[in-house]
């Protein structure tokens, strides 16, 4: 019998969902899950997690040395993890199955200019449906900062947990005084989704991710859960090494969902216990029909109100319409044109900076922003 967090009437469908997960490897998005685990939020909204502490993003531009810029990038990155990986538990009760975006789905948002941090804009486009791939671009023009990346997942099942390998990477570009640019290649941690049997999934991060600067500074971030460095969940340890060296100049450790410290000085490094700032989005009637919240509004309303019949009817409408589009494209020998991104087979920044820390894989594709967002 599955756990108590599963409503009595959905226990058998949860058990068969878990069984089907165990048999599917790669892409979970098309599996039908029982209603209690459905989230009304589409995956295209997730890139907003990168910037919910806009002042930490802006602070990267204010750092004066190569070392302090790498520290500022690490600080901002670690401070995004709580939002990226635990916010559904806080908002929706547990990790849930997000809406699977349609090809061409868009999500636009911004964080206003406050306390001279500059305005930050966000452009997201779903660039593939199966497998789901989400491309994003974040910019703070007045600070000379951009973040371009894409996100896909490869899932497998092991020991009762879902293991999610993140595919994709992000590149942060910083305009330096005098016209030079510094780039940071950001790779992403592996996820384990635990608590499935009980019907209350949550995420633990595992293994290692990297932030490699074009100046040579490298952050190597190791993630552990309960029972490793200490008895606590959500632990990390980050080593910052100077160009060409294997010896850490600085070490940071702690819990990515609360606080961490600079081990050398004992000073506080990150503290994400205070409020974060959600992205501002246009109201539904100002949105285009391809914008996520408008596109999914009837489905999301059904899920929020517990009216799953309406939710699934509205979802089928969207999916049927999509299938028809794909058939029409096939007949006309055309493909869906991406609006904001160009696909490249190999990202030169990934290859060049990845070589410095022996990135695996050695090459990855990328989606290059066309500089044509609604804010441009």
By CB under 6 A, the residues from 156 to 195 that bind ligand HCR are 164, 166, 193
153 binds ligand HCR (CB under 6 A): yes
58 binds ligand HCR (CB under 6 A): no
Q: Which is nearer to ligand HCR, 47 or 217 (CB)?
A: 47
Q: Work out how close the CB of 282 gets to ligand HCR at its nearest, in angstroms, rounded to a whole number.
A: 22
Each residue 202-231 as x (binds ligand HCR by CB under 6 A) or -, in order, gives -x----------------------------
Give the number of other CB atoms < 10 A from CB of residue 277: 14
Q: What does the DSSP assignment read for 308-376? A: HHHHHHHHHHHHHHHHHHHHHHHHHT--PPPSSEEEESS-HHHHHHHHHTT-SSS---EEEE-S--TT-
What angle separates helix 308-332 from helix 297-305, to the nearest 10 degrees?
Answer: 160
Q: Work out how close the CB of 157 gets to ligand HCR at its nearest, in angstroms, rounded to a whole number.
A: 11
Q: Work out how close the CB of 83 gets to ligand HCR at its nearest, in angstroms, rounded to a whole number.
A: 9
Q: Which is nearer to ligand HCR, 198 or 290 (CB)?
A: 198
Q: Are 231 and 219 in contact (CB under 8 A)?
A: no
Each residue 17-36 as x (binds ligand HCR by CB under 6 A) or -, in order, gives -----------xx---x---
15 Ramachandran zone, left/alpha/beta (phi>0; psi -120 to 50): alpha
279 DSSP assignment = P
Q: What is the three-class DSSP state of 25?
A: coil
150 binds ligand HCR (CB under 6 A): no
Number of amino acids touching ligand HCR (CB under 6 A): 19
Q: Work out how close the CB of 70 gets to ligand HCR at its nearest, in angstroms, rounded to a whole number.
A: 21
Out of 36, 49, 217, 296, the residue judged to bind ligand HCR by CB under 6 A:
49
Token look-up 């942060």 returns 172
Distance (Å, whole) CA 261 – CA 160: 33
Q: Work out how close the CB of 97 gets to ligand HCR at its nearest, in angstroms, rounded to a whole number.
A: 4
Out of 53, 69, 75, 97, the residue judged to bind ligand HCR by CB under 6 A:
97
Q: Which is nearer to ligand HCR, 156 or 310 (CB)?
A: 156
CA–CA distances in Å: residue 213 to residues 183, 219, 290:
6, 9, 36
Q: Are 42 and 99 in contact (CB under 8 A)?
A: yes
Distance (Å, whole) CA 100 – CA 201: 18
Q: Are 368 and 361 in contact (CB under 8 A)?
A: no
Out of 84, 161, 209, 219, the residue judged to bind ligand HCR by CB under 6 A:
84
Q: What does the DSSP assignment read for 199-223? A: T--EEEEEEEEEEEETTS-EEEEEE
Q: Which is nearer to ligand HCR, 63 or 163 (CB)?
A: 163
Q: Work out how close the CB of 166 gets to ligand HCR at its nearest, in angstroms, rounded to a whole number.
A: 6
Q: Which is nearer to ligand HCR, 217 or 236 (CB)?
A: 236
> Interface with ligand HCR by CB under 6 A: which residues?
28-29, 33, 37, 46, 49, 84-85, 95-98, 151, 153, 164, 166, 193, 201, 203
């Amino acid at each position: 019998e599955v756990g108590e967090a599963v409503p009595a009437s959905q226990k058998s469908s949860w058990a068969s969902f878990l069984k089907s997960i165990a048999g599917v490897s790669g892409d979970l998005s098309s599996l039908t899950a029982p209603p209690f685990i459905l989230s009304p939020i589409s995956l295209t909204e997730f890139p907003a997690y990168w910037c919910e502490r806009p002042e930490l993003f802006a602070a990267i531009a204010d750092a004066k040395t190569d070392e302090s810029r790498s520290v500022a990038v690490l600080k901002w990155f670690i401070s995004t993890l709580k939002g990226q990986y635990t916010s559904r538990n806080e908002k929706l009760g547990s990790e849930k199955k997000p809406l699977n975006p349609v090809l061409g789905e868009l999500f636009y948002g911004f964080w206003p200019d406050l306390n001279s941090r500059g305005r930050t804009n966000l452009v997201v486009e779903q660039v593939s449906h199966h497998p789901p791939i989400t491309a994003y671009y974040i910019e703070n023009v007045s600070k000379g900062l951009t973040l371009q990346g894409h996100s896909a997942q490869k899932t497998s099942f092991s020991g009762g947990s879902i293991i999610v390998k993140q595919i994709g990477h992000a590149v942060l570009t910083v305009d330096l005084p005098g016209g030079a640019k510094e780039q940071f290649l950001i790779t992403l941690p592996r996820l384990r989704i635990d608590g499935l049997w009980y019907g209350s999934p949550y995420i633990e991060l595992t293994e290692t991710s990297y932030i490699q600067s074009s100046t040579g500074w490298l952050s190597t971030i190791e993630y552990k859960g309960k029972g490793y460095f200490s008895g606590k969940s959500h632990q990390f340890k980050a080593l910052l090494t100077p160009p060409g060296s294997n010896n850490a100049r600085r070490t940071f450790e702690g819990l990515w969902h609360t606080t961490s410290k600079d081990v050398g000085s004992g000073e506080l490094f990150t503290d994400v216990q205070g409020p974060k700032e959600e992205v501002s989005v246009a109201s539904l009637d100002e949105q285009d029909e391809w914008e996520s919240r408008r596109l999914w509004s009837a489905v999301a309303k059904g899920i929020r109100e517990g009216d799953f019949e309406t939710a699934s009817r509205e979802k089928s409408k969207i999916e049927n319409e999509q299938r028809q589009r794909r058939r029409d494209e096939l007949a006309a020998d055309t493909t869906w044109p991406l609006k904001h991104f160009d696909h490249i087979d190999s990202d030169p920044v990934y290859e060049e900076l990845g070589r410095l820390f022996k990135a695996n894989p050695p090459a990855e594709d990328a989606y290059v922003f066309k500089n044509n967002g609604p804010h441009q």
